[in-house]
Structure 1
Amino acid sequence: MPRVDVREMPPPERHTEIHDAFAEMDGGEVLEVVNDHEPKPLFYEMRAEVESFDPDGYEVEREGERTFVAQFPKQ
């Protein structure tokens, strides 16, 4: 499963990095994104702008005070 940890990246670079990683995946794969906050804005952005994103399969788990792991599936 492809994984992108953006916790140490400057915020303006995060969405670009995630979109690039998502674009490189094949259909049926899931991108795991590790973030320091729940990535709801990214979810809404992906749902609105990325046709191959499967919003029904999106999941997020809190793994600590500042660690969230989200699953972004590609159709």
Structure 2
Amino acid sequence: MPRLDVREIPPPERHPKIHEEFESLDSGEVLEIVNDHEPKPLFYEMRAEVESFDADAYEVEREGSEKFVARFPKQ
């Protein structure tokens, strides 16, 4: 599963990088993102703008006060 840790990426560059990585996935793959906050805005953005994003299979886990791991599946 491709994994992208965005905690060290400047905030304005995070969403474009995530979209780029997601686009490179094959159907059925999942992009795992490590972030310093729950990526709710990204979830809503992906659900609204990316037809191949499987919002129903999206998952997020909190692994500490500043570590969230989210899984963005591609249909």
- The interval holding the TM-score normalised by the smaller chain is over 0.9
- After TM superposition, the score normalised by the length of structure 1 is 0.99
Structure 2 counterpart of 1:26: 26
For 1:4 and 1:23, how far apart are their aligned partners in 2? Answer: 13
CA distance in 2 between partners of 1:2 and 1:23 (Å) = 12
TM-score, normalised via structure 2 length: 0.99
- Letter of the 1:9 counterpart: I
Residue 70 of structure 1 pairs with residue 70 of structure 2: yes
The residue aligned with 1:46 is: 46
Tell me the alpha carbon deviations over residues 3-51 of structure 1, each in whole angstroms, 9 at most, x when there is no partner: 1100011000000110000000000000000000000000000000000
CA–CA distance in structure 2, aligned partners of residues 13 and 64 of structure 1: 23
In structure 1, stretches of 5+ residues that fail to align are none
Give the C-alpha shift of residue 73 in structure 1.
Answer: 0.2
| Stretches of structure 2 lacking an aligned partner (at least 5 in a row) | none
Sequence identity, in percent? 77
